Each structure stands twice: as structure tokens, then as C-alpha cells.
Structure 1
Amino acid sequence: MRYPEGGGLTAERRAFREKIRLQAGDRFAAGEKTAVIAKDLRVSVRSVERWRRAWREGGLEGLQSAGPANEPTVTDAQFAVLEEELGKGPAGHGFEDQRWTLVRVRTVIRRRFGLSLSVATGGGC
């Protein structure tokens, strides 16, 4: 599944998950058992155990979202430039044919912006 931020969860989904974790935190404080919380919140027991550890160490603050897992490497302005560059086609960047691959896109990004991206290189785009 692809996400609009280039990886990880959308802001809405992060907020939803945080709400579930905070509900679990309230129930930890009330002394409820892990299995009951997991069943009621429809999550795994393992997740509730992990949340309980975080709650013990940091209270409800320990259950709050830390934000996106990673920030986009390319800024909005750079992305607009990248769209223009990709519009020139692979041959416009010295590749032998008109097929975009992840490796080729990464190469264009590196050449144009000096950025190094880790991209899975499993085939064409």
C-alpha cells in the first residue's frame, strides 16, 4: 500500500491509532488485564503488552504518536522540479530507452539534487 507521505501512515490514521493507545492507557490505570483490553480494542495482545511497557515508562505521554516514521527526503519545491525532469523522459537524461525504473529515477534525483535515496530496485515503474 502506498501512502501520500511516501511511507508510513497518514496523519488521520496516526491520530486514530494514538486514540486507541490512549484508551488503553486509561484502562491500564484502571488495572484492567491485557487480554481484555486487546479483545475490546480489537488489537493483538502483543501490541497491548508493548503499549503497557511504554505507559509504565512514560505514562500517557509515552503512548502519544511520535509523528511520521520518516520525513520526505525531497521537498515540495524539489518534487515539482523532479516532475519536470521526469517529464523529459529517460532518454532526455541519457538512458538508452524510454523505460523508467526505480534505479533510473534514483539516479536522476541524485544527479539533480545530490540526494542519496534507499530504494528497492525490483523492476520497472
Structure 2
Amino acid sequence: MTPPASHMWGRRGSTPVIRVRGRSQRRFSIAALCCYKPGERSRLICRPKRHTGHKNGGRKSFAWTGYRGLLIAAHHQLDGPIVLIWDSLNVRKDRRMRAFIDAQDWIAGYHLPPYAPGLNPVEGIWSVLRRTTQANTASTNPDHLIRRLQHGLRQIQHRGDIIDGCLTGTGLTPTTPHLQPQ
């Protein structure tokens, strides 16, 4: 992850240059759910995953089983039904994922239109994360990066107002009517 820069300075008339050593081929993914329930504090449920062996043909992202595990954990943590609204990433439209969702009576799944990141509150979470705990940070090793990511996500998890703001930024509300199943 190339470190985002939030503040920098340079001599007048010269462009500041940020040097980053090397490019790592290690991969990390984070799956997250923004959870909203009228009358309750908004929540962020997330799972970071470090991918090993992707250079040898292994996965470079979450498999459908990773998302299934996240949904099961969210169901146990929230102790209630889930109305799932997510983007159209291929793995989320996988036939096995659809079969899992269809087999559960506690989950209803809907997909956002293609190319609509502005309707996804989780995109706001990534933006906040990049502008706060990840800004001006060059990780020294993969463990340092994952610790910084977990620290930043924990900070956001305890701030329901930030999670609410990410929903507000989409223009949606927890009671948006007329959802069409996909």
C-alpha cells in the first residue's frame, strides 16, 4: 500500500517528492459491513485477511467462504436478521454465495447497481481510514501495516457518528423503501 500523504511541505517553487522503498507483493484484504438499525448505535464489522501464497497461484482476495464467515459472525454479533446491500463484486454474485444467502431465513441480499461506489457506505470507511490512521505512514513490514489497519478500524468501530456519516454521504437512509431483490 503506497502511503497516502495528508500534509507535506516543500520549498516554494519546487514540487515535494515522497520516496517509497520497493513495492511489496504481499496482499491484504479487508471485508467490512456497515450495520445500521434505527434506534441503535451503528456498527462496523470487519475482517482483515493476509493472503499468503498468492504468487504461486493462490487467491489475491476474499473467497466466497470468507464473506460467508463474515456474515455468520455478523449474524451472531447483531443477534438479528440482516438485510445485506452490497456492490456487484463477482465473488459476491457467485452461485455458491447466492445459494448460501437463499438458504438462510435471517438474511436478505440486494446488490447495488454496477459502478455505484457513491451508494456504498463502506467506501466512506476506506476514505476515512486513508485520511486518518494511514495518512503519512510508511509501513516498515507487513505486520506493521496490518497493526495500523486494525488500529484504525478499531477507532472507527467505536465512533458510530462516523459510520452514520458514511451512510449520510450516500444519500440513503436505514428506511429507504422499494428495494428490489437481485
Note whether the superposition's TM-score is higher than 0.5: no
TM-score normalised by structure 1 residue count: 0.30
Give the structure with the higher percent strand: 2
Give the structure with the higher percent helix: 1
Structure having the higher Rg:
1
Select the structure with the greater relative contact order (CA < 8 A; seq sep ≥ 6): 2
